[in-house]
Structure 1
Amino acid sequence: MSTLDPDAAPVLLPRLGAGHPALQAMVTSVAARNGRLMVLHIDIEQFASINQNMGTEVGDAVLQIVGQRLRAGLAGRGEVWRHGSDEFVAVATLDEKDHSAQQISEALIALIEQPLTILPYTLLLTAKAGISLSPEHATDASTLLQLAEASMWRASPGADAPVYVHSGRTSRTPQGERAISSQIVGALARNEFTLRYQPKISARDGRVLGMEALIRWQSPTLGELLPERFIRTAERLGVILQIGDWMIERAVAQAREWREQGVDDFFIGVNVSTLQLLQPGFVEHLLGLMQHAGVPAPAIVLEINESVLNNDAHIVFQTIRALRREGIGLTLDNFGTGDANLRTLVRYPADTLKIDRSFTKAALLDSRETAILRAMIAMAHQLGMKVIANGVETEAQLGFLRRTDCDYFQGYLFGEPVEAGPAGQVLRARHLRPELFTTTRADQTLLLVDDEENVLNALARLFRRDGYRILAVNSVREALALLATNEIQVILSDQRMSEMSGTEFLAQVKMLYPDTIRIVLSGYADLATVTEAINHGAIYRFLTKPWDDRELREHIQQAFRTHEAQRARAPAP
């Protein structure tokens, strides 16, 4: 995790100059040696929100750290420049013995996306990139840059496809910001926008509580675009008001249609922008639409970005208070990515706090993110709000969030955004993935973790006679998955494993599942490491191999008694 000296002035990378002389010199030099060169155009997603919510000093510091990471990642093989407000151009030489341009680029993206700390903030950036190659695609700097930028717009931030390599074919399709700006103004009149619906799920039993309306732009030249690609441009050009009004009108009409089909007791969440909340007649317009359609107030929930709370506070406060007075539900979206504080949350009471997908993704991987997520859920409950976790994609994430008292879920584990027809069928079905919500067994459950199969088998045979429910795995990854989906009281782990040590694994488990009793069983004893782990409460006991069967069984029996005593002392929920 990167940090900066708060007293040090940020030193930003140089910008790529007009005419790109430095880049052209590199291209010419490599061509003279019959070498190969990759040009990488990198875009930092949602960077504008950092400047807006945290200030330009933090934004500059972020750019400084990203630049430092890129330079370090290139390892002397190339150069990197800033390009635009939140974009970088990196250039590196390639040879036949090197990793591919794709591999190098993905490694650079991974460096950017490592957690980044600029006190008091911890940020999780996402980035995407496009690649052009010389001499395969072009031998002049301007064309290489143009092709890399066009490829960047075809990449998808996140794990799926963060890097796109130019195909080598010349495309007449306009790409990038200029193309979006030129086409979005008339897109609404051309009926190019559609709504997709993604379910919101109860953590108690998997019941479908409602849907979020998510906009898609079906551009005839750019293809289907997600809102991340065009909303910022729409806000800059001012057309976000028309697009936002259209979304609300369609959502209200869809709520009426589903109710007429016999579906009731649901809501549709609709994202609204700051500019919409600042409109003097916004509340009256919304209420008029709902009254005309015969849609009750609870059927529409407005999702407002956390950053909204720090803009024109008085007007926003009056609008939110009027909405709440009329019974319109409010969800605070993308929570944790901005700088809304407790005082802000008290002043702007929302019904639901939606945790940003970045925290959901990192919760099982990073102890700091886990602590932050737990704190956000507890804080929201203390303020009388429900909590929805966005971006739930795995059963392990689901199990952990259920045990952390999260109230609602949204994510691909329960379905991707779909058109109104299939979404209505989901509402009528009422429950999704019910098998994920079955009550876990109340047996005494012992988790055995050891990367030696014969040791696992021997331990399982030993403890089976005591009537425990035994789960045995030979990897930390499998162990974490089982912990997320099972009620486990005692863990017995080897110390020397390939993924991480037993003490490191159990320290992570302590953060995720602090009520477990954690024991290390190993023939390898690093006394300092073990002592530190015990002192910090990461492990309950350290036992050695080879073991005595009778003594080991007694230790495990005592561990279960300790767990039961701890639970008896715990305050009632």
Structure 2
Amino acid sequence: MDRPLAPPVADSRLSRALSASACGTLLLVVPMRLDEMAALLGAALRETVLQAAARQLETALHALQQPATGAEALHRRGDGFLVVLGDASPEHVDTAAHLLLDALEQPMEVAGQRFCLGGCAGRVDFDAQSGHEVATLLRQADLASLEARRLGRGQCVRHEAATTMVAMRRLRAEDTLHRGIDQIRLDLLFEIQADMCTGALTGAVVLPRWTPALGAGLADGGRGWAAVAADAGLMHRLTLMLLHGICRQVRQWRDQGLDVPSLSVDLPAGLWQDRALVSMVLDALVDQGLPGGTLTLLMPGAALSGDADLLRGTLRSLRATGVRVGLARLGDAGPVSLDTLGRLPLDELTLDARVLERLGQRDGTRMAAALIGLGRALGLRVVAEGVRSEEQLDVLRARHCDEFQGPLLSLPVGATTMTQVLMHARVQHRVVLDSSTGTAPGPGTATGAESTRGPAHRTGRVSITAAAG
């Protein structure tokens, strides 16, 4: 658990520093690995580590103490450090933040051990109109630094009114979850996947929609329902609801005689370091009498930063049951080494939609080709997310990408429409042909809501004709 910062304390030196400038910026720099190092080296050395961090920051601060930045002395605040930049331009503030964070990336030595602390920072801009109330500025700096910590090491987040609004929305969502967990309703949307060459239906990605809308409006914080559930200590319960909901839907389709391909679902990074994940998945499958191949579980790149042995054990256990596993959004998963990927028992990789956005550029096409080649070299299926145009599809097909999904094929659809897709695929054996003309229709306008336009409608390239009666 992250140790909370000390509560705001009125500091006369800090007050004078703030009052000395008509406008400026307050930076709160927080070491990221302090708790880890204190646990490894011993709690008695916690203060020693902080003092070493202070020396690194003071060295960087010395380079900033010039009229252009108006940098003041370092002020200690709990486990963090405050710096006031008076009358500095936005460019100089950015420079100061980067230099201070870079300072914490330099190795330090404590008790004969060399390591890097790393850090993040919260930034608050102030002027005569916004006021110089110390307690308010410190509270805003706290909120910004907490958001920076959520985003990860090396991040600097500027406090804005939206920062507080996001934090309050997160708190209200957690409150709603605690008060009405038994009334939470889950609806499933499906984003269809097809074979790149044949157009055959290969699967669908499940997109959970919760009512009330957990995580709604939290996109700025990169949070969503999973993070709200984690904050509330209800991750297991909501994950079980999601897995059981998917398996119940598959059972309904199978009882109708439909051939259901594997359904993919993203699971948050924290679950992949949870020893209970395998039992939760098996519980949902066994409850509906389904084989493991019913599910493909996708993990984000952040899951790779945890215990590697535990992760490999979890992946092996899941695959032993027939469940497929994949790495989601390659190209936006942060740095992933070839050695790491080669050691993981995976079945597929998905290319992030942002990789596809750069396909028109020379370096973007090369990146996509390299990522697809990596997946094929490892014997994995490669799925492209967010395909929007025929041009993107042609480039991906030429690079031997296996499957695709996105607006060109279909926007997310509800369970009723997905049922029609499965019925259509059973007869036509493909999902990218217009059932009436045998040609690929133009992009449609259907969304996750069920269509009300009559017996025949289109969703992207998918053309669905409902049976009479």
- Residues 175 and 222, structure 1, Cα contact 8 Å, conserved in 2: no
Q: Secondary structure at the match of 1:384?
A: coil
What amino acid does structure 2 have at the position aligned with 1:198? E
How far off is 1:329 after superposition? 1.8
1:351 corresponds to? 347
2:328 matches 1:333? yes
Structure 1, unpaired ranges of 5+: 1-14, 52-63, 112-117, 119-126, 438-573
Cα gap change, 1:254/1:92 in structure 2, threshold over 3 Å: closer, same or farther? farther
Say whether residues 1:191 and 2:190 are aligned partners: no
Partner of residue 228 from structure 1, selected from 222, 247, 251: 222
Separation of aligned partners in 2, 1:29 and 1:346: 57
Q: Which has the higher contact order (CA 8 A, sep 6+)?
A: 2
What CA deviation, in whole Å up to 9, does each residue of 1:66-100 have, x standing for no partner?
A: xx9xx99xx95787999999999998969xxx9xx
2:205 pairs with 1:204: no
Query: Which amino acid in the other structure matches residue 269 of structure 1?
Result: S
CA contact (8 A) 2:25 2:123 kept: no
Contact 1:150 1:176 in 2 (8 A): no
Deviations 1:349-389 (A, max 9, x none): 3221123445444554473x654442331122122211113
Q: What is the percentage of aligned positions where both structures have the same residue?
A: 23
Assess if the C-alpha contact under 8 Å between 1:37 and 1:135 holds in 2. Answer: no
| Aligned residues of 2:264 and 2:295 also touching (Cα < 8 A) | yes
Q: Deviation per CA, 1:264-315, whole angstroms, max 9, x where unpaired?
A: 3422112335665566665455345334424444331111334545644455
3-state secondary structure, aligned to 2:222: helix
Letter in 2 for 1:228: G
Unpaired stretches in structure 2, ≥5 consecutive residues: 1-5, 37-55, 99-104, 106-119, 152-156, 425-430, 435-439, 444-469
Matched with 2:432 is 431
Q: 1:282 to 1:147 in 2, by over 3 A?
A: closer
Aligned to 1:114: none
Instruction: Give the 5 Å matches for 1:196-345.
Output: 196-204=189-197, 207-216=200-209, 223-225=216-218, 228-230=222-224, 231-232=226-227, 234-235=229-230, 238-260=233-255, 263-273=258-268, 276=271, 282-283=277-278, 285-308=280-303, 311-336=306-331, 337-338=333-334, 340-345=336-341
1:98-117 correspondence runs (5 A): none
When residues 364 and 147 of structure 1 are mapped into structure 2, their CA distance, relative to the original with a 3 A threshold, is: farther
Rg (Cα) greater in structure: 1
Q: Which amino acid aligns with 1:400?
A: V
- Matches of 1:402 and 1:78, distance apart in 2: 56
Alignment of 1:378 onto 2:373? yes
Q: Which range is displaced more, 224-233 or 350-359?
A: 224-233
String of CA shifts for 1:163-191, please: whole Å, max 9, x gaps.
99648xx98x9627666666655664441
- Which of 126, 129, 140 pairs up with 2:133? 140
Distance 1:184 1:133, change over 3 A: farther
Letter in 2 for 1:211: A
CA offset at residue 222 of structure 1? 7.0
Q: Is the 1:199–1:208 Cα contact (8 Å) retained in structure 2?
A: yes
Contact conserved, 1:19 with 1:142, CA < 8 A, in 2? yes
TM-score, scaled relative to structure 1? 0.47
1:121-140 aligned at under 5 Å gives the runs 134=127, 140=133
- Kindly indicate whether the alpha-carbon contact (under 8 Å) linking 1:188 and 1:243 is maintained by their aligned counterparts in 2: no
Name the aligned partner's letter for residue 353 of structure 1: L
> Quick one: structure 1 residues 383 and 223, their matched pair in 2 at CA, closer, same or farther if it must change by over 3 Å?
closer
> RMSD between aligned alpha carbons?
6.1
Rounded Cα–Cα distance in structure 2 between residues aligned with 1:212 and 1:333: 11
Shift of 1:248: 1.0
Query: Does residue 400 of structure 1 match 2:411?
Result: no
Contact 1:392 1:413 in 2 (8 A): yes
Match in the other structure for 1:480? none
